[in-house]
Amino acid sequence: MTALLAISEIQSALAPAGTQAMRISQLWWVYLTVLSAIFVLVAIALFIALSRRHAVAELPAPPFAPGEASERRTSTAVTLCVIATVIILFVLLFWDFFTGRAIYALTSDKEFLHIKVIGHQWWWEVQYQDPTPSNVMTTANELHVPLGKTVKLELQSNDVIHSFWVPAMHGKKDLIPGHPTVQYFRADKEGTFRGQCAEFCGHQHAHMRLEFVAESPDKYEAWLAAARQNAPNPTTAMQQRGLQVFMSNQCIMCHTIEGTAARASLGPDLTHLASRSFIAAGAVPNTRGYLAGWIANPQNIKPGVRMPPNPLSSDDLNALVDYLESLK
Amino acid sequence: MKTRVLMTICCAAALVSCKREERGFRVAPPSAEKIETKSLSDLHPAGSSVAPPTKNDYRENAYAVSEGEKLFAAYNCVGCHAHGGGGMGPALMDNKWIYGSQPQQIFSTIVEGRPNGMPSFRGKIPDFQVWELVAYVRSMSGLGTSGASPNRSDEMKGPTPPSSMPKQTPQNSSLPKSAERPPP
């Protein structure tokens, strides 16, 4: 139960942490209350109607000709019900409309944090945009935002249709190949939440998660400044060997480590890999054992993933993991 | 009832025999044992003898061929060979093969590299991906199976799609004049 509650707090539209999600959850509660009340009333009316007994003899002979009074009562009841239905539908319609307005109110903001999110099978590439090209920062499967600031997400896809969904922040938004989409939101509550691809996108759709961190502007700035740095140089002999292993094997064909010769963009950016809490888009925690297992054969952890197995000797693998763990 | 059972069995049999869409994520890739590792002399780069063909298990698998197509762009083969039309490197959609058209010859071309620009990808690309590339490269000149070759190109305007490419007879070809070494 506690575990369930913990999950519901990090990934639930009913535990909103942003303005948009707040309005969406309000709307959800209004609908749930009103519609449940109507359902209960209708069920009660039906039950009463069913339980009223009529002796067969009391019924008029066919063709049925109800009495004047009964006819009048019925038409009043039907009219009242129709009016109530129309009023309720209009109330819901307006609530819907104003919620929509409130959700998209941020669209006109001039001051915003511009982040590009690119969906890949099956991970998220996150680019923090900046007017100075050298300040554009790329990371993967994690999204940090400052509290109280409008965030503009530019959503793109590299292969198939994905859908970006951080339930604590906003509704879903599809990532469509060749057609960038945009989503605006604002985080109001500090915390770590979870995003998830919400459009079936292939074999490992379920393992396409994103860690979403809403933090105070100071913390955010510190994180961004650290993330913009190049990868630290290897210090120990093992780490140096690890770097060599990285450069002379398959790794370099797909990954980037800023500050080294590895500049490929097929797989996630590994510049600050050790600072992330998960690997493989949230499939497993970022621990030494999982990291080594992942490098040796990713297909065991996430069958179908695009990363191939890497047959390395145990010494090489150890050195490589040593190096990757130093990428804070 | 009988018909339904019979149809179910037939469908199951059809599914089992459907190799085209098989995705062997955990299957060991075709081995790269029979790679031609002949050293090449200056005078006679290709050699005229053609080794007995090694069967590439991926040539009948549409998934593997399309993976090969993706890798062809991802590993920047397109940088020199374009989408088959060639550029800095030779064209791959024609019938001229400097270093041989057999799967294992293409395999060793990728793994060993070739003089005048083709880099060696030994250790950089896992064997099964090289075989996927081989399957795709062969499909570009119609040497793949029509069932598995992609029937349209992913590029903006591509050549004839591999599945309707007329079959071309591979021929040995010498290096282009421009690539020959100047006399000492």
Query: Is A62 within a domain?
Result: no
Q: Which has the closest alpha carbon to B59: B9, B102, B3, B122?
A: B102
Per the structure, the count of domains in chain A is 2
pLDDT digits (tens, 9 = 90+) for B118-156: 999 988 898 889 999 999 999 999 888 888 888 777 666
Neighbours of A158 (CB within 10 A): 14
Same domain for A179 and A156?
Answer: yes
The more confident residue out of A117 and B2 is A117
Q: Which of A235, A233, A241 is nearest to A260 (CA)?
A: A233
Q: pLDDT for A239-279, tens place per residue? A: 999 999 999 999 999 999 999 999 998 999 999 999 999 99
Q: Would you call A299 an interface residue with chain B, using a CB distance cutoff of 8 Å?
A: yes
Q: Which domain, by its residues, includes B101?
A: 53-151+170-176
Cβ pair A252:B124 closer than 8 A? yes
Cβ–Cβ below 8 Å for A299 and B26: yes
d(CA A53, CA A143): 64
Is the same domain home to A249 and A185?
A: no
What is the spatial distance between Cα B164 and Cα B152, in angstroms, rounded to a whole number?
9
| Tokens coding A280 | 């493989």
Do A116 and A34 lie in one domain? The reply is yes
Q: Please state the ipTM of this predicted complex.
A: 0.76
The reply to whether B67 falls in a domain is yes
My answer on whether A100 and A182 are in the same domain is yes
Question: In this structure, are A206 and A73 located in the same domain?
Answer: yes
Residue from the list A252, A266, A303 with its beta carbon closest to the beta carbon of B26? A303
Asked if A250 lies within 8 A of B123 by C-beta distance, the reply is yes
B123: nearest CA in chain A? A249
Where residue A5 falls among pLDDT bands split at 50, 70, 90? low
Interface membership of A244 toward B (CB under 8 Å): no
- My answer on whether A191 and A287 are in the same domain is no
Residues A250, B126: Cα–Cα separation, whole Å: 7
The domain that contains A302 carries what CATH number?
A: 2.60.40.420
Structure tokens at A3: 């575990």
Contact B126 A308 (CB under 8 A): yes
Q: Which of B23, B74, B124 is facing A250, going by the closest CB pair?
A: B124
| Tens-digit pLDDT profile for residues A98-114 | 999 999 998 888 899 99
Interface test with B, best of A244, A251, A253, A299 (most B CBs within 10 A): A253
Does A44 score more than 70 pLDDT? yes
For residues A184 and A253, membership in a common domain is answered with no
Q: Are residues A253 and B75, on separate chains, in Cβ contact within 8 Å?
A: yes
* A250 closest CB neighbour out of B26, B74, B125: B125
Whether residue B129 lies within 8 A of chain A, CB to CB, comes out as yes
Whether residue A317 contacts residue A296, with contact meaning beta carbons closer than 8 Å, is answered with: yes
Q: How many CB atoms lie within 10 A of CB A170?
A: 27
Query: Would you say the C-alpha torsion A312, A254, A261, B136 has a positive or negative sign?
Result: positive
pLDDT at A20 over 50: yes
Q: Structural domain tally of chain B?
A: 1
Residue A44 and residue A52 in contact, taking contact as beta carbons nearer than 8 Å: no
Q: Residue A212 — left, alpha, or beta (φ > 0 → left; ψ -120 to 50 → alpha)? A: beta
In a domain, B82, yes or no: yes
User: Does the pLDDT of residue A210 top 70, yes or no?
Assistant: yes
Q: Judge whether B38 and B47 are in contact, CB under 8 Å.
A: yes
pLDDT tens digits along B47-79: 444 445 566 778 788 888 988 998 999 999 999
Which residues of chain B neighbour A244 with C-beta distances below 8 Å? none
For residue A37, give Cα distances in angstroms to B3, B33, B129: 51, 72, 60
Residues 62-121 of A with CB under 8 A from B: none
Where in the sequence is the domain holding A257, given as residue range(s)? 237-325
Instruction: Report residue B85's pLDDT band, with 50, 70 and 90 as the boundaries.
Output: confident
> Could you tell me whether strands A137-140 and A191-197 are parallel, antiparallel, or unpaired per DSSP bridges?
unpaired
Answer yes or no: do A16 and A150 share one domain: yes
Instruction: Kindly indicate the confidence band of residue B14, based on its pLDDT and cuts at 50, 70 and 90.
Output: low
A21 and A91 share one domain: yes
Q: Cα separation of A39 and B101, whole Å? A: 72
Residue B31 lies in a domain: no
Contact residues on chain B for A320, CB-CB shorter than 8 A: none
Q: Is the dihedral of CA A318, A322, A323, A328 positive or negative?
A: positive
Instruction: Find chain A residues with C-beta within 8 A of B124's C-beta.
Output: 249-250, 252-253
**How confident is the model at residue A62, as a pLDDT?**
66
Q: What is the DSSP string of chain B?
A: -HHHHHHHHHHHHHHHT--TT---SSSPPPP-TT-------SS-SS-S--PPPPP-GGGG-HHHHHHHHHHHHHTTTHHHHTTTT-SSSPPSSSSEESS-SSHHHHHHHHHH-BTTTB---TTTS-HHHHHHHHHHHHHHTT-S-TTTS-SS-SSSS-SS-GGGPPP---EE-PPPGGGSPPP-
Q: List the structure tokens of A136.
A: 């554009």
Query: Is A122 in the same domain as A19?
Result: yes
Residue for token pair 């150890």: A318
Out of A174, A200, A228, a domain closes at A228
**Cβ–Cβ < 8 Å for A114, A129:** yes
Q: Which CATH number covers residue B119?
A: 1.10.760.10
Torsion angles phi and psi, residue A197, rounded to 5: -65, 130
> Counting beta carbons within 10 angstroms of the beta carbon of residue B65, is it exposed (0 to 12), middle (13 to 18) or buried (19 or more)?
buried
A-B interface: how many C-beta pairs under 8 angstroms? 28
Return the pLDDT at B128.
87
Domain for residue A57, yes or no?
no
* Domain co-membership, A112 together with A85: yes
pLDDT band at B36 (very low <50, low <70, confident <90, very high): very low
Min Cα separation A64/chain B (Å): 48
How far apart, in Å, do the first and last CA atoms of chain A sit?
35
Residue A60, domain member (yes or no): no
Q: Is residue B136 part of a domain?
A: yes
In a domain, A61, yes or no: no
Asked whether residue A155 falls in the same domain as residue A285, the answer is no
* Inter-chain CB proximity B74 and A266 less than 8 Å: yes
Find which of A245, A250, A254, A310 to mutate to test the B interface (most B CBs within 10 Å of its CB): A250
Least confident of A70-79, A254-263, B167-176: B167-176
In a domain, A92, yes or no: yes
Q: Considering only alpha carbons, which residue of chain B is nearest residue A250?
A: B124
Structure tokens at A134: 């050298």
Query: Which of the listed residues A168, A203, A228 is the one where a domain comes to its end?
Result: A228
- Are B112 and B48 contacting, i.e. CB atoms less than 8 angstroms apart? no
Closest Cβ–Cβ partner in B25, B75, B124 for A303: B25
pLDDT value, residue B178: 73
Angle between helical axes of A237-248 and A314-325 (0-180°, round to 10): 110
Q: Is residue B12 part of a domain?
A: no
Q: Is the Cβ of B152 closer than 8 Å to some Cβ of chain A?
A: no
- A67-71, A94-98, A179-183: range with lowest mean pLDDT: A67-71
Residue A233 DSSP class: P
Residue that terminates a domain, selected from A187, A209, A228: A228
